[in-house]
């Protein structure tokens, strides 16, 4: 008989209030509730978090390598969206 | 033909990324050999953490003080955690953990040979934390710059946690070295037995290492076996001196010209003997893993069955 | 009771609670590298660590009350089977995973009632330890509850094992709710807990949970008692022999 493999979950942790949840790794669990508990046991042993998200890995839809040209390259020629594009006179430099 | 040209272009941009010190991420195109090489190395690393729970786990129920018991429990638990981080990094390459575990149990995948040495005395728990984890850290610090993103990030996390492992081991040695005559003897004996195997953890000398060259080219490995070993040898000398113990290598000697310690010959015959199954614990370690895994089969089945029942009930209710 | 007697009784209570925590922590630590999968190795170690930590707090307080130079390790490592006063249920071998989780459920549920009361102790140290332990126990109970439901409502085999564990453990639960004179006196003095008061709620919670898990609570047709007086099963001797072996082999050493 094939070995039962539990579902794969991705774990995101907010390390302190005011910060974003950050991806820290994955784990196996039966369901969301158990995944949260294991995330607590496996990824916050040193008080690394104040909040945990778990997401089924299979629910993540990721952009593909072959899409990256049409997804990301078009922003390359729009430097005017960045503050550094604009030269200001020295006296008002900190705008 | 077009496919070949396309592959060449992909490989070219892969190598350019590596050259520019960019990380390779799971969805990126990568040469199949790179994927295989990573999978071999990361899963071996994961297996080592998991099998590495055994020698020290063997002392969880016997730790000689409650403080030591708590520390050791946290430490061995970390090994399990590190195994998890690494399996998690390896799974991003598309191989499920169950397959990696099957490979470990069939002998197709390896784990670090150091764990085939027996932890015979409490001093060995100290020596393992200090020397074995110490050697592992030298290697892992280097691997924080490895080219595969999930592996590198796992290493950063592991390194952050692991320095406590080495310190608790050294603290055990320090207490023994400053303790009774019997405790000092215990410390010296453990140092003598674990020093050389710890040096062997860095793998064969560069000239004899099968996987090294390409792993360096792909920046999976960042420093050679001999470079890392030398770092470890250098850092360990003053630590041994501070303990007031005798250095196990009678030929250890500072070389001002090289700015490194010269050292005696490593017994590579022993290294290969242990790898090839003649260590004290090779069979025991695998048997333990297989026994625990089999004993847990009905639990894993129950979890899956329960999940299925819940899903069916939800479906029936809607 | 005189203040002196009260202090002596509090010391004994702290030791009993320390023994409970140490013996269960020891059993749980045996799961590390033996659990059904890696996430459970880590989770079991966390629970074990909580109990070892708890033992250290209770023994530390006992040392303070004894004020005779003894420290936590003297209590843990230099007392014999007859001097340990933990409940019997805690010293039973870890058994299979169902046995361990059913024991946890029985004990976690007991502890959550017990600690909620001990939080209100007029002994500030015991109240503080209980407040900390209470947080841990809430998590332990969440785990053991879910495991017992999962195993009871899993496969035929897991259900059989879980029901069997319940049968094997049941006779050891009675003494949890039978305080001796010392514990009753401490409860009257506002220091300890009268555990008789905890039983109804404990039983009620268990019945609800058993229904959810498809299990049934055993008949009350046998009971084994004696932990609080040092009248132990044969298991404790082996447990202590292992726990104390290195410490006792090198008398007077620091570690």
d(C-alpha B246, C-alpha B191), whole Å: 9
Pairing of strands B260-262, B253-255: antiparallel
- From chain A, pick out residues whose CB is under 8 angstroms from the CB of B84: 25, 27, 42
d(C-alpha C44, C-alpha C48), whole Å: 6
Minimum distance, in Å, between the CA of residue B305 and any CA atom of chain A: 9
**DSSP strand E in chain C: where?**
none
Q: Which residues have C-beta within 8 Å of that of residue C73, sequence separation ≥ 6?
A: B65, B66, C247
8 Å CB contact of A41 and C142: no
- Per the CB < 8 A criterion, the answer to whether C57 and C65 are in contact is no
8 Å CB contact of A42 and C150: no
- From chain B, pick out residues whose CB is under 8 angstroms from the CB of C246: 62-64, 122
B80/C contact by beta carbon, under 8 A: yes
- From chain B, pick out residues whose CB is under 8 angstroms from the CB of C30: 60-61
- From chain C, pick out residues whose CB is under 8 angstroms from the CB of A28: 37-39
A 10-69 residues inside an 8 A Cβ radius of C: 27-30, 33-34, 37-38, 40-42, 45
8 Å CB contact of C33 and B54: yes
Who has greater pLDDT, B218 or C90? C90
pLDDT above 70 covers what percent of chain B? 98
- From chain A, pick out residues whose CB is under 8 angstroms from the CB of B304: 4, 6, 30
Nearest to C52 among B73, B81, B292 (CB): B73
- Chain B: partners with 3+ C-beta pairs within 8 Å: A, C
Is a pLDDT exceeding 70 seen at residue B115? yes
- Per the CB < 8 A criterion, the answer to whether C145 and C105 are in contact is yes
Quote the tokens at residue C159: 């259900």
- Per the CB < 8 A criterion, the answer to whether C242 and C236 are in contact is no
C49/B contact by beta carbon, under 8 A: yes
Is a pLDDT exceeding 80 seen at residue B207? yes
8 Å CB contact of A37 and C150: no
Is a pLDDT exceeding 70 seen at residue B64? yes
8 Å CB contact of C42 and A42: yes
H or E segment to which residue C119 belongs:
none
d(C-alpha C117, C-alpha C138), whole Å: 14
- From chain C, pick out residues whose CB is under 8 angstroms from the CB of B68: 255
Minimum distance, in Å, between the CA of residue C37 and any CA atom of chain A: 9
The one-character DSSP state at C116 is: H
The CA-CA-CA angle for residues B296, B297, B303, to 5°, reads 90
Q: Tell me: the pLDDT tens digits for B223-264?
A: 999 999 999 999 999 999 999 999 999 999 999 999 999 999
d(C-alpha B251, C-alpha A79), whole Å: 62
pLDDT of residue B162: 87
Quote the tokens at residue C113: 């009632």
Out of B35-44, B129-138, B216-225, pick the least confident: B216-225
Nearest to C45 among B76, B172, B300 (CB): B76
What mean pLDDT is predicted for residues B146-155?
95
Taking CA atoms, A58 is separated from B24, B30, B121, B154, in Å, by 21, 22, 46, 21
- From chain B, pick out residues whose CB is under 8 angstroms from the CB of C76: 66
Which residue(s) pair with A11 in the sheet?
A25, A54
ipTM for the whole predicted complex goes beyond 0.95: yes
Taking CA atoms, C198 is separated from B63, B313, C85, C204, C210, in Å, by 35, 35, 20, 10, 18
pLDDT of residue B2: 61
pLDDT-derived band of residue A1, with 50, 70 and 90 as boundaries? very low
Minimum distance, in Å, between the CA of residue A48 and any CA atom of chain B: 11
B 86-105 residues inside an 8 A Cβ radius of C: 87
C37/A contact by beta carbon, under 8 A: yes
pLDDT-derived band of residue A10, with 50, 70 and 90 as boundaries? very high
The closest of B149, B151, B162, B272 to B210, measured between CA atoms, is: B272
d(C-alpha B205, C-alpha B267), whole Å: 12
Minimum distance, in Å, between the CA of residue B237 and any CA atom of chain C: 23
Minimum distance, in Å, between the CA of residue C89 and any CA atom of chain B: 18
3 state SS of A32:
helix
DSSP track, B25-86: -TTS---HHHHHHHHHHHHHHHHHHHHTHHHHHTTTTT-SSHHHHHHHHHHHHHHHHHHHHH
- From chain B, pick out residues whose CB is under 8 angstroms from the CB of A60: none
Nearest to C39 among A28, A33, A45 (CB): A28
Find the residue in C nearest to A29 (Cα): C39
pTM summary value = 0.94
- From chain A, pick out residues whose CB is under 8 angstroms from the CB of C38: 28
- Per the CB < 8 A criterion, the answer to whether B72 and B256 are in contact is no
What average pLDDT does chain B have?
94
d(C-alpha C149, C-alpha B309), whole Å: 12
Cβ count near C102 (within 10 Å):
29
Place of tokens 């729009």: A78
pLDDT-derived band of residue A3, with 50, 70 and 90 as boundaries? low
Is a pLDDT exceeding 80 seen at residue B210? no
C 188-247 residues inside an 8 A Cβ radius of B: 242-243, 245-247
Q: Which domains does chain C have, with CATH numbers?
A: 3-249 (1.20.1260.10)
Place of tokens 């020397």: B131
Q: Which residues have C-beta within 8 Å of that of residue C121, sequence separation ≥ 6?
A: C127, C130, C190, C191, C192, C193
Nearest to C37 among B122, B183, B296 (CB): B296
d(C-alpha B19, C-alpha B37), whole Å: 18
C42/B contact by beta carbon, under 8 A: yes
What mean pLDDT is predicted for residues A66-78?
81
Tens place of pLDDT for every residue, chain C, 255 residues? 888 999 999 999 999 999 999 999 999 999 999 999 999 999 999 999 999 999 999 999 999 999 999 999 999 999 999 999 999 999 999 999 999 999 999 999 999 999 999 999 999 999 999 999 999 999 999 999 999 999 999 999 999 999 999 999 999 999 999 999 999 999 999 999 999 999 999 999 999 999 999 999 999 999 999 999 999 999 999 999 999 999 999 999 999
Minimum distance, in Å, between the CA of residue A38 and any CA atom of chain C: 6
Q: Which residues have C-beta within 8 Å of that of residue C250, sequence separation ≥ 6?
A: B64, B180, B182, B183
pLDDT-derived band of residue A4, with 50, 70 and 90 as boundaries? low
Minimum distance, in Å, between the CA of residue C154 and any CA atom of chain A: 12
H or E segment to which residue C141 belongs:
helix C124-152
């Amino acid at each position: 008989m094939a070995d039962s493999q539990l579902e794969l979950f991705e774990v995101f942790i907010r390390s302190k209030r005011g910060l974003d949840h950050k991806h820290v790794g994955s784990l196996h669990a039966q369901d969301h509730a158990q995944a949260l508990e294991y995330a607590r046991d496996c990824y916050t042993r040193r008080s690394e978090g104040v909040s945990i998200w778990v997401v089924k890995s299979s629910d993540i839809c990721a952009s593909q390598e072959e899409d990256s040209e049409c997804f990301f390259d078009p922003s390359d020629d729009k430097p005017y969206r960045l503050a550094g594009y604009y030269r200001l006179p020295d006296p008002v430099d900190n705008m | 033909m077009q496919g070949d040209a396309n592959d060449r272009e992909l490989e070219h941009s892969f190598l350019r990324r590596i050259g520019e010190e960019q990380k390779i991420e799971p969805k990126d195109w990568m040469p199949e050999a790179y994927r295989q090489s990573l999978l071999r190395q990361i899963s071996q690393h994961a297996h080592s953490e998991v099998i590495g729970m055994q020698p020290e786990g063997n002392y969880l129920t016997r730790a000689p003080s409650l403080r030591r018991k708590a520390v050791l429990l946290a430490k061995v638990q970390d090994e399990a955690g590190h195994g998890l981080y690494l399996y998690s990094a390896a799974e991003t390459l598309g191989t499920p953990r169950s397959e990696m575990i099957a490979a470990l149990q069939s002998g197709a995948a390896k784990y670090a040979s150091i764990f085939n040495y027996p932890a015979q005395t409490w001093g060995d728990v100290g020596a393992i934390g200090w020397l074995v984890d110490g050697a592992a850290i030298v290697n892992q610090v280097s691997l924080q710059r490895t080219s595969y993103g999930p592996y590198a990030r796992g290493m950063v996390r592991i390194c952050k946690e692991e320095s406590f492992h080495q310190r608790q081991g050294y603290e055990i040695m320090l207490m023994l070295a400053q303790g009774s005559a019997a405790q000092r003897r215990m410390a010296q004996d453990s140092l003598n037995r674990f020093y050389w195997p710890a040096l062997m953890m860095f793998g064969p000398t560069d000239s004899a290492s099968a996987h090294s060259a390409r792993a360096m080219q792909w920046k999976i490995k960042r420093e050679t076996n001999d470079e890392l070993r030398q770092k470890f040898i250098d850092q360990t000398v003053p630590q041994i001196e501070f303990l007031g113990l005798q250095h196990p290598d009678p030929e250890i000697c500072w070389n001002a010209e090289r700015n490194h310690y010269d050292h005696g010959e490593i017994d590579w015959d022993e290294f290969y003997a242990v790898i090839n199954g003649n260590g004290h614990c090779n069979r025991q370690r695998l048997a333990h893993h297989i026994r625990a895994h089999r004993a847990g089969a009905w639990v894993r089945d129950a979890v899956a069955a329960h999940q299925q029942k819940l899903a069916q009930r939800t479906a029936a209710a809607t | 009771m005189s203040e002196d007697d009260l202090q002596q009784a509090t010391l004994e209570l702290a030791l009993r609670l320390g023994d409970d925590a140490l013996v269960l922590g020891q059993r749980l630590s045996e799961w590390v590298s033996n659990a059904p999968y890696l996430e459970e190795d880590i989770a079991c170690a966390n629970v074990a660590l909580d109990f070892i930590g708890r033992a250290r707090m209770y023994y530390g307080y006992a040392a303070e009350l004894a004020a005779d130079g003894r420290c936590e390790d003297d209590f843990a490592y230099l007392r014999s089977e007859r001097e340990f006063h933990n409940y019997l249920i805690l010293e039973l071998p870890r058994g299979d995973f169902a046995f361990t989780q059913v024991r946890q459920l029985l004990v976690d549920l007991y502890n959550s009632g017990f600690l909620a009361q001990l939080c209100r102790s007029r002994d500030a140290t015991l109240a503080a330890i209980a407040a900390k332990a209470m947080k841990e126990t809430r998590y332990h109970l969440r785990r053991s509850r879910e495991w017992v439901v999962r195993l009871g409502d899993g496969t035929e085999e897991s259900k059989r094992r879980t029901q069997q564990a319940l049968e094997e453990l049941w006779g050891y639960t009675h003494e949890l709710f039978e305080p001796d004179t010392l514990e009753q006196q401490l409860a009257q003095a506002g220091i300890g807990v009268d555990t008789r008061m905890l039983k109804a709620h404990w039983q009620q919670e268990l019945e609800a949970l058993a229904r959810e898990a498809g299990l049934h609570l055993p008949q009350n047709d046998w009971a084994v008692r004696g932990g609080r007086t040092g009248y132990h099963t044969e298991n404790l001797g082996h447990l202590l022999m292992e726990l104390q072996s290195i410490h006792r082999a090198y008398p007077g050493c620091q570690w």
